[in-house]
């Protein structure tokens, strides 16, 4: 079937990306547009793919790629047409215009890039991500249900599926009930602040009696302060917002990173990997 061929091709492409990431690259792709080719391969590279010394980047007219070096945080913005060679700490021109350089304060690691690549691959396999569409979701809790959160007043969200409200919300700390509420919609904003670095659990019961349970942990105060201080606004460069999502992911807050990837996916429909990461 046609969709199966597309699905298999997407999985194969992602496995190639993960293999490239595992090759101890010195930089990674922080943005790309248009027709970009790495080492003459026919497949288009994906966002956050690592690049190593000696690799060749070719760009057609109107294409663009942003390469960020992992250790230094130096970013090279390259616009086509042209051909370029990856160096140990810079990008050399073979032909074309010289790249624009930008020194960034952002840092990430190969480990995080590998983890994000694996997350993307799992999203394709588990969520049925085909041509930008996902399978229908049943009644379930959505946020927060995984890892840390970087706020002490999260807004709890769930998928209603075919269930009907109202919904009974309960928040626990251990066996202690901290808060109860009856909610008509699919979200609830907590009216008070939680404690930092503490595990919590919560439950939502639908009118039909269906119960769903979730758990999460609030981040430590240092991480929350750093996240608040470094959060870029919506007008910031694409790579800055991408790096912010990677920072949240590294802090153990994958769902908060998803929120950023979802925002970027709305802006960049040409980068389906963002939509897949947002849906994981």
Question: Which pLDDT score is estimated for 124?
Answer: 63
Tens of pLDDT, residues 56-90: 999 999 999 999 999 999 999 999 999 999 999 99
Helix segments in the chain, DSSP class H = 2-21, 110-127, 221-230, 238-250, 254-267, 272-279
260 found inside a domain:
yes
Tell me: do 117 and 208 sit in the same domain: no
Tell me: do 238 and 148 sit in the same domain: no
Tell me: do 68 and 203 sit in the same domain: no
Question: Which pLDDT score is estimated for 1?
Answer: 45
225 found inside a domain:
no
Rg (alpha carbons) of the chain, rounded to whole number:
21
Tell me: do 145 and 211 sit in the same domain: yes
236 found inside a domain:
yes
Helices and strands, number each (H, E), in the chain: 6, 17
The residue from 194, 218, 242 where one domain ends is: 218
23 found inside a domain:
yes
Cα–Cα distances in Å, from 129 out to 135, 225, 280? Answer: 8, 35, 10
Question: Which pLDDT score is estimated for 121?
Answer: 73
Tell me: do 152 and 125 sit in the same domain: no
| Contact partners, residue 18, CB within 8 Å, separation at least 6 | 114, 117, 118, 121
Question: Phi, psi (5° rounding) for residue 157?
Answer: -135, 150
Tell me: do 267 and 181 sit in the same domain: no
223 found inside a domain:
no
Question: Phi, psi (5° rounding) for residue 28?
Answer: -150, 165
Q: Residue 14's domain spans which residues?
A: 2-104
Return d(Cα 191, Cα 63) in angstroms, integer: 48
67 found inside a domain:
yes
Tell me: do 38 and 177 sit in the same domain: no
Return d(Cα 147, Cα 115) in angstroms, integer: 14
49 found inside a domain:
yes
Question: Which pLDDT score is estimated for 138?
Answer: 86
Q: What CATH code is carried by the domain that includes residue 145?
A: 2.60.40.10
Q: Which residues of the chain have pLDDT under 70?
A: 1-24, 123-137, 280
Report how many domains make up the chain. Answer: 3
Tell me: do 93 and 187 sit in the same domain: no
248 found inside a domain:
yes
Tell me: do 124 and 236 sit in the same domain: yes
Tell me: do 171 and 45 sit in the same domain: no
Tell me: do 150 and 209 sit in the same domain: yes
SS3 assignment, position 59 = strand
Tell me: do 97 and 21 sit in the same domain: yes
């Amino acid at each position: 079937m046609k969709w199966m061929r597309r699905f298999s091709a997407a999985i194969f492409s992602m496995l190639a990306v993960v293999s490239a990431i595992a090759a101890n690259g010195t930089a990674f792709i922080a943005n790309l547009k248009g027709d970009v080719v790495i080492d003459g391969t026919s497949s288009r590279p994906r966002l956050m793919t690592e690049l190593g010394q000696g690799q060749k980047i070719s760009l057609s007219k109107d294409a663009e790629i942003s390469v960020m070096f992992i250790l230094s945080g130096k970013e090279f913005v390259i616009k086509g047409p042209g051909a370029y060679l990856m160096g140990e700490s810079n990008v050399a021109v073979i032909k074309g215009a010289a790249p624009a350089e930008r020194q960034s304060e952002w840092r990430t690691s190969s480990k995080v890039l590998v983890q994000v690549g694996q997350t993307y691959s799992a999203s394709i396999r588990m969520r049925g991500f085909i041509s930008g569409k996902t399978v229908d979701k049943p009644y379930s809790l959505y946020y927060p249900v995984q890892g840390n959160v970087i706020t002490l007043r999260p807004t709890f969200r769930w998928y209603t599926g075919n269930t009907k409200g109202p919904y009974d919300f309960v928040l626990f700390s251990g066996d202690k009930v901290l808060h109860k509420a009856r909610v008509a919609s699919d979200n609830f904003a907590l009216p008070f602040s939680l404690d930092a670095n503490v595990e919590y659990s919560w439950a939502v019961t639908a009118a039909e009696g269906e119960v769903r349970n979730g758990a999460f942990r609030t981040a430590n105060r240092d991480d929350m302060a750093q996240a608040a201080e470094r959060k870029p606004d919506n007008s910031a460069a694409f790579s800055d917002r991408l790096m912010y999502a990677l920072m949240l992911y590294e802090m153990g807050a994958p769902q908060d990173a998803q929120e950023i990837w979802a925002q970027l996916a709305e802006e960049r429909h040409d980068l389906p990997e963002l939509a897949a990461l947002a849906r994981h």
